[in-house]
Chain A
Amino acid sequence: MSTEAIIRNYILENYLFTDDQSALNSTDSFLDKDILDSTGILEVIYFLEDEFGIKVEDTEMVPENLDSVNNIVSFIAKKRP
């Protein structure tokens, strides 16, 4: 499965509680669309560290890296060796 698919499915299943792919665009802002609450983003970070073997630094916890499926995909690509 592609990185994008893994992340999309995770968000759909765990925050929108659906398998309907049309419920989420990969460019949708998690904040603007009210998809994640304040601790939800911490859960996402745990998931990313676990799934992709990366470590997210405090300074990297910003919307540019984590606020949409596409932003996360780019962030993972940068982080992985």
Chain B
Amino acid sequence: MCGIAGILTLKDGVPPSRNELEGMIHAVQHRGPDGYGYYLSQRVGLAHARLSIIDLAGGDQPIHNEDQSVQVVFNGEIFNYVELTAQLKQQGHRFYTHSDTEVIVHLYEEYGEAFVDHLNGQFAIALWDSRSERLILARDRTGIRPLYTIESGGRLYFSSEVKSLFAHPAIPREINLTALSEVFTFWTTLPPHSLFESVEMIPPGHLQVIENGTMKLSRYWDWSYPNEQIDNRKSLADWSEELKALMIDSVRLQLRSDVPVGAYLSGGLDSSVLTSLIKNFTDTPLRTFSIGFEDEEFDESGFQQDLVDYLGTNHTHVLCKRSDIGAAFPRVISHTESAIVRTAPTPLMLLSGAVREAGYKVVLTGEGADEVFGGYDIFKEAKVRRFWSHAPDSEWRPLILQRLYPYLKHSPTTSGAFSKRFFQQGMEHLDKPFFAHIPRWATTQRILQFFSDEARAAINQAVDFETINRILPADIETWKPLNRDQYIEANTLLSGYLLSSQGDRVAMANSIEGRYPFLDHRVIEFAATLPSRYKIMGLNEKYLLKQTMQGLIPESIRKRSKQPYRAPDSQSFFHGEKPLDYVAYLFSEERIRKAGYYNPKTVSLLLKKCARGKALGFADNMAFVGILSSMLVDELFVEQASIDSQ
């Protein structure tokens, strides 16, 4: 795991200098504290900050091919490098390291741009072919590792994080209000937008090739669901056996490392599956880490302890208090480089700190299982709403809504006729691919009411639900409903938030690499062929995964309903009714006016409501966290000021 940065001179740009590269790569030192490496030519400069995990002695980057005509810097892991190395050696390639990075240059020699199809891993790659003067920027299939670009003054700058681009004095710092509106709808910007004007992300599963003055962005992989008849000859036992073998192999590959590997335990099914597979099918010593909360509504310590007792792991538990979230939040935003609408990444940053303190650099996490195997409430909710739509006047059909959200203190299903109305939202859009997401997006969009008149006027493209069509495949409307829901979830919440703000960024804040066995592309492709009923049986989510794990995890965990990971939101930023100093400053009329994004009057009323502890629902909490986080982005990145939150 590492950070990468670089500069490519386009037509008439000035050649990159070592000094410029140093400025950029030092800004992402947290991603790779173990050393720097550079490659410099007239056309291109590549820089690398290393976190040593594989081939500790010989894996320094950039890495090159036999005649040094191909150079690569790379952030991530290629898990199948052992098999690829053997295959490439057979094809006549000579290796000078034992690192996973080196397979990239030899695969490129062998297959050209299609090298990426052979990789099983999580990566952001910058590869320079000096013979054809071609730069390739590539990002892994699901968006685990980040990669941003900006074109300015005849050059293309690229880096793992935006702060590294901003380290260069030529790069402007401005929030893109259209992108901010996307966050306040979909929980993430939509590719290629970052939160910042002119800074673009390479979308997951894409390659950008820059050659002869042209830039070509192409997709090499996508979440895809077959329309043809699913193989009904396979029994549940067949599917289950296949899944088990695949998951064992995925875990085995992702445990490859020259440093010890730990695992996160949430108390839910997914992390329990991983720790159980490690314990039962590998010889890796089990070291686990979990987070708990003072607030009972969010805490899963009991289930975490069940699994620790069951598997006998060496375990570290971190207790997160509301005041910890308030104090750590500015640092979180300095890493997310985006507005967010929940505080949930914050405890995970505290947890990665505990992992680092324990002397670990790598953890396996259960992220991705919900998207791959159909675990989210939003999928079940959509199933119920589709069921209801068959007879919209039925009195009893909507009663099934009460089965949803048993874990919420203030559930949207407990307000009788009002909850019916809430879930009826968007019923007229039954055939739209985003049908499932309408209630969530409608609630999130309530934040837009806080925008100032000036901000509204400056938004050049209004964001509505149809905006999502920009990233959807042309034939998605022909897919099965659950598959449509999964696709949108994987390409918004997963890649743009869970793997980014709540994943890579808060782990790398403490130089920790997260690994995601459920996001092995073979697992995703296998699950895409599953009949929907084996994902959600009735309202029993991740049915096949639960069946497969019978006898391998405690029944208390296997049979419990999913509880999404959440953390206290607006309550974390007040002592009694008094906001923390930095919150009071960022919400002050003067500061809000200076930034210009929000209406000071409405923001002050929201602050007052939250201070009184009266913000109970998702909408107010998301508005508060969204506004606070965007003001922090403004303070930290646009104004380049620092925040004292202690």
Residues on A facing B (Cβ under 8 Å): 13-14, 16-19, 31, 34, 36-43, 45-46, 58-59, 61-63, 66
Would you call B602 and A39 a contact (CB within 8 A)? no
B315, chain A: closest CB distance, angstroms: 35
**Are A43 and B617 CB-contacts (below 8 A) given A37-B446, A38-B422?**
yes
Would you call A39 and B616 a contact (CB within 8 A)? yes
The answer to whether the Cβ of B410 comes within 8 Å of any Cβ in the partner chain is yes
Besides the known contacts A39-B619, A62-B417, 18 further A-B residue pairs in the complex with CB atoms under 8 A apart: A14-B614, A16-B449, A17-B450, A17-B605, A34-B442, A36-B418, A37-B617, A37-B618, A37-B619, A38-B412, A38-B419, A38-B617, A39-B617, A41-B415, A42-B414, A42-B617, A43-B614, A63-B417
Residue of A with least CB distance to B443: A37
Would you call A38 and B416 a contact (CB within 8 A)? no
Would you call B418 and A18 a contact (CB within 8 A)? no
Residues of A within 8 A of B616 (CB): 39, 42-43, 46
Residues of A within 8 A of B446 (CB): 37
Give the contact-size bracket for chain B: 20 to 34
B111, chain A: closest CB distance, angstroms: 51
A30, chain B: closest CB distance, angstroms: 9
**Are A37 and B422 CB-contacts (below 8 A) given A14-B614, A42-B410, A42-B415?**
yes
Would you call B415 and A61 a contact (CB within 8 A)? yes
Residue of B with least CB distance to A47: B614
Would you call B415 and A39 a contact (CB within 8 A)? yes
Q: List 16 A-B contacts (CB under 8 A).
A: A13-B608, A14-B605, A14-B614, A16-B449, A17-B450, A17-B606, A18-B605, A36-B418, A37-B443, A37-B619, A38-B617, A39-B411, A39-B415, A45-B415, A59-B416, A62-B417
Residues of A within 8 A of B443 (CB): 37-38
A36, A40, A62 pick with most chain B CB within 10 angstroms: A40
Would you call B421 and A31 a contact (CB within 8 A)? yes
Residue of A with least CB distance to B602: A17
A63–B414 CA distance with the chains assembled, in angstroms: 14
From A14, A39, A46, A61, contact of B609 by CB (8 A): A14
Residues on B facing A (Cβ under 8 Å): 410-412, 414-419, 421-423, 442-443, 446, 449-450, 601-603, 605-606, 608-609, 614, 616-619
Residues of B within 8 A of A18 (CB): 601-602, 605
Residue of B with least CB distance to A20: B601
Number of contacts between A and B (CB, 8 Å)? 73
Residues of B within 8 A of A39 (CB): 410-412, 415, 616-619
Residue of A with least CB distance to B616: A43
From A19, A40, A59, A62, contact of B617 by CB (8 A): A40
B408, chain A: closest CB distance, angstroms: 9
Helix, strand, loop or mixed for chain B's interface?
Answer: helix
A43, chain B: closest CB distance, angstroms: 5
Listed from nearest, the 6 A-B pairs whose CB atoms lie closest are A39-B617, A38-B412, A38-B422, A17-B602, A61-B416, A17-B605
Residues of A within 8 A of B411 (CB): 39
Residues of B within 8 A of A58 (CB): 416
Would you call B418 and A63 a contact (CB within 8 A)? yes
Residues of A within 8 A of B603 (CB): 17
Residues of B within 8 A of A13 (CB): 605, 608-609
A59–B417 CA distance with the chains assembled, in angstroms: 9
A17, A31, A41 pick with most chain B CB within 10 angstroms: A17
From A17, A34, A41, A46, contact of B418 by CB (8 A): A41
Would you call A38 and B605 a contact (CB within 8 A)? no
Residue of B with least CB distance to A67: B418
A26–B540 CA distance with the chains assembled, in angstroms: 44
Residues of B within 8 A of A43 (CB): 614, 616-617
Would you call B418 and A31 a contact (CB within 8 A)? yes
Residue of B with least CB distance to A36: B418
A69, chain B: closest CB distance, angstroms: 16
A10, chain B: closest CB distance, angstroms: 10
Residues of A within 8 A of B418 (CB): 31, 36, 38, 41, 61, 63, 66
Residues of B within 8 A of A34 (CB): 442
A4–B414 CA distance with the chains assembled, in angstroms: 26
B441, chain A: closest CB distance, angstroms: 12
A41–B449 CA distance with the chains assembled, in angstroms: 19
Residues of A within 8 A of B601 (CB): 17-19
